[in-house]
Chains A and B, each alone.
Chain A
Amino acid sequence: MTNTNHPAETPRVKQDANYIFHELTRSICPECKTVIDAQIILRDNRVYMRKRCPDHGWFEGLISSDAKMYVDSIGFNKPGTIPLDFSTEVDKGCPLDCGLCPEHKQHICLGLIEVNTNCNLNCPVCFANAGIGYSLTLEQVEGMLDRFVEIEGDPEVVQFSGGEPTIHPDLPAMIQAARDRGIRQVMVNTNGVRLARDDRFLQVMAALKPVIYFQFDGLRRETYQTIRGEDLLDIKLRALDRLQEAGLDAVLVAAIEHGVNVDEAGAIVEFGLQHPAVRGVVLQPVTHVGRHIPFDPMKRVTIPDVIHGIVEQTAGKFVLEDFVPVPCCFPTCQVNSYAYVDGDRVTPLPRLLKVDDYLDYITNVALPKVPEAAAIREALESLWSASAVPGSDKAAKQFECACGTGLKLPFGSEHLNKHIFQIAIKDFLDAYTFNVKQVMKCCVAVLVPDGRAIPFCAYNSVGYREEVREQLTSRQRMARDA
């Protein structure tokens, strides 16, 4: 039957979608934080999250700029370890029961304690939205550490953060309190301003020897102007030199933002390789929570952008295959690499043995047939973990063990500590990329005075940060007024 009156006839041919539907998960609405379904789709070798809030409509955001890398990483997923205790019950469903709830799929590799909300800087980019709020007491922190020991048994790493933890008068006692409970690694996450200026404080840190998790966004002054609101380069360099004099180890931590410092990823790695105080770098695409500069969710920096940046900007020192997903968390969250550094010679660990053979649990069901295979896998699991701390004895021993029969390193761990360099790239979630699947296996948790341990990305994106801050701030105000 034909209808000659129809104005513009279109052929009745089915069209293919311009994307591959990869999976369905759950996320939150970037406007109202309501939990909603979300599709993960692959388009033009990129990965996007697409979702709809009944009240605020459709949202789409870039998850990964390399679909192949994203899909290939899924195999690097190791069975989780169940914590000894949980602090909440399953009620409303993930991510609204955090604390951890009994449905959480992993224990805590790294516990974060935000000791205050105040800061000695006022950066335009700050996921913690530092400013007026609360300051924890030593007693509160001791209680949190005790609870951490209860739920973990053997906690690996505690990181003190803020705000700016170095301006908290009880920070030294808090570091000592973690050590007194046998927590092996203690880190202090800092902008470095006080380390650059305060001799006595530096001396105290030198005696306590925490690993300094040192914000370092690049080597260009403009980078600091944009991300930190002022030119901090000289202060940063001064602080690092002073750390070296004091015998403290540092890990450079860079916030990487589109159009600001993606082109500095290589320079940050190169600088770290050369600076005697630096044991590793952590490159973190900016998380668009708290305070951030205006951004386009379709043009975010993702893990592959940073890997490509390092490969292209380090003159052949690293190749794409040197970066391997971390299996303890959800493998799309973080990639690591390690290198043995001797002067100008940089040998990435994945060149010495095929890390994939040990850490791709799904593709390689059986371990390689070498005598030490189980020990090598265990060592690699320790290195490719959120609890790996560069510069620690443990990391050095694991590096040595991972090298297995392939390489006999004729030195003690002291030597290795100074010659092993870690590169970690961590992509934290924001409201556009929030994926319940990743949060359920998150192994980085914010410890809260009421005993809860809340997965870091849920803490930042779902509203826990605001709830905890409000509660602690008003309680402190009431205590002061009483």
Chain B
Amino acid sequence: MLDGPSGAEAKACCADLYRSGLARLLLGDTLHPGGLRLTNRLGRLMGLERDWWVADLASGTGASAAAISRAFHCRVIGIEYGREAVLEARNTTESSPVPSRAWFAQGDAESPPLRPQALDAVLAECSLSVFPDKQRTIGRAVDLLKSGGRIGISDVTVEPGCLPSQLNNSLGQMLCVTGALGKDQYGKLLVGAGMVNLYSEDASGYVAELLNRIKSGISTLSLLDLAAPAISEPSEFRDLPAGYDWGGLIDLLIDLVDQGLLGYRLYVAEKP
């Protein structure tokens, strides 16, 4: 659980952070490691089938939901806390030259506005780590599923007690590390919520790739002296001192990945 801000504040702050120009500049359009490559892999591991009803929890601006709906020919409902992101997701889907069956609703993934036992699958990409109450979120997700339905989670893993103190801030939040669990804990939560046939797969290589991208982004930004119009939005990192050594921090994270203390994993499980 997050220290400091209340759950609602944290969710709103996260939703804002991910829509920000700087986050996009650093992370690209799909704001999680591996981008649509890992989204597709997760869908494949979940065994998504044609015409299934799928919910995407914390769907952001909708890139994954639309891609999943087209690649697996299923119907996806994206649930997203941030209103602006929902509007943007709808707008992007509607204006795309290639139609998808993805719809978006504003809502809290901890209590999604959906009917219980109606879905074939629930997907949570790099989002469980930012939800303050993970147990409750997973419990609700399981409630939404029909018998035989699948849950697919991809998320950052941080081994307990290994997060450097300088990451308990908004940058750590953007990197999904502040609320991340250890690699065994996500599976335990799923099993604890009654799910079976747990499968998990390491994808930590994508975290290293993402960190390197952020690092080169930051070095570009420092060359630009943070003055370019693309990034002159309100400061996302308000709790960081001026002249913060971002490069050094990223190096620290890369080191944690090398040691296996920071990583990224996919988890799939089935409702009996």
B-binding residues in A (CB < 8 A): 142, 149, 154, 172-173, 175-177, 179-183, 203-204, 207-208, 397, 400-401, 408, 410-413
Contact = CB atoms under 8 A, between A and B. Distances in A.
Contact of A182 (B39, B96, B223, B224): B39
Nearest to A413: B220
A412 B220 contact: yes
Nearest to B231: A412
A20 B50 CA distance: 62
B228 interface: yes
Contacts of B228: 412
Given A181-B36, A408-B223, A173 B71 contact: no
| Closest 5 A/B residue pairs (Cβ) | A182-B37, A182-B36, A180-B67, A176-B98, A180-B71
Contacts of A408: 223
A207 B68 CA distance: 19
Contacts of B220: 411-413
A401 B217 CA distance: 12
Main SS class of interface, B: helix
A173 B69 CA distance: 13
Contacts of B34: 182
B40 interface: yes
B163 interface: no
Nearest to A409: B223
B98 A173 contact: yes
A208 B34 CA distance: 20
A176 B70 contact: yes
Nearest to B223: A410
Interface string B92-134: 0001111000000000000000000000000000000000000
Contacts of A142: 71
A177 B70 contact: yes
A133 B228 CA distance: 52
Contacts, number: 58
Contacts of B216: 397, 400-401
B70 A149 contact: no
Contacts of A176: 70, 96-98
Contact of A172 (B40, B68, B97, B213): B97
A397 B71 CA distance: 29
Contacts of B224: 410-412
B247 interface: no
B97 A180 contact: no
A124 to B, nearest CB: 35
A397 B215 CA distance: 11
Contact of B36 (A180, A207, A397): A180
Contacts of A177: 70-71
Given A410-B224, A412-B220, A413-B220, A182 B38 contact: yes
Interface in B165-217: 213, 216
A180 B40 contact: yes
Contacts of A397: 213, 216
30 contacts: A154-B37, A172-B97, A172-B98, A175-B98, A176-B96, A176-B97, A177-B71, A180-B66, A180-B67, A181-B37, A182-B34, A182-B35, A182-B36, A182-B37, A182-B38, A183-B37, A204-B97, A207-B96, A208-B97, A208-B98, A397-B213, A397-B216, A400-B216, A401-B216, A410-B223, A410-B224, A411-B220, A412-B220, A412-B228, A412-B230
Contacts of B35: 182
A397 B26 CA distance: 13
A448 to B, nearest CB: 20
Nearest to A393: B28
Contacts of B67: 179-182
Contact of A207 (B37, B70, B97, B223): B97
Nearest to A208: B97
Contacts of B95: 207
Contacts of A181: 36-37, 40, 67, 71
A412 B213 CA distance: 12
A143 to B, nearest CB: 12
Contacts of B66: 180
A385 to B, nearest CB: 17
A286 B204 CA distance: 44
Contacts of B40: 149, 180-182
Interface string B44-72: 00000000000000000000001110110
B29 to A, nearest CB: 10
Most buried by A among B98, B216, B223, B230: B98
Nearest to B213: A397
Most buried by A among B40, B71, B230: B71
A419 to B, nearest CB: 14
Given A207-B95, A408-B223, A412-B230, 10 more contacts: A142-B71, A172-B97, A180-B36, A180-B70, A182-B37, A182-B40, A182-B67, A207-B96, A401-B216, A411-B224
A326 to B, nearest CB: 23
B54 to A, nearest CB: 14
A6 to B, nearest CB: 79
A154 B205 CA distance: 12
Most buried by A among B34, B36, B70, B220: B220
A142 B40 CA distance: 13
Contacts of A400: 216
Most buried by B among A142, A154, A183, A204: A154
A208 B36 CA distance: 16
Contacts of B213: 397
B63 to A, nearest CB: 9
Interface string B224-267: 10001010000000000000000000000000000000000000
Nearest to B30: A182
A406 to B, nearest CB: 15
Nearest to A154: B37
A142 B98 CA distance: 14
A113 to B, nearest CB: 16
A412 B216 CA distance: 10
B37 to A, nearest CB: 3
B232 to A, nearest CB: 14
Contacts of B71: 142, 177, 180-181
A176 B40 CA distance: 13
A208 B97 CA distance: 8
B73 to A, nearest CB: 9
A207 B40 CA distance: 22
A164 B92 CA distance: 29
A401 B220 CA distance: 11
Interface in B16-38: 34-38
A156 to B, nearest CB: 11
B61 to A, nearest CB: 15
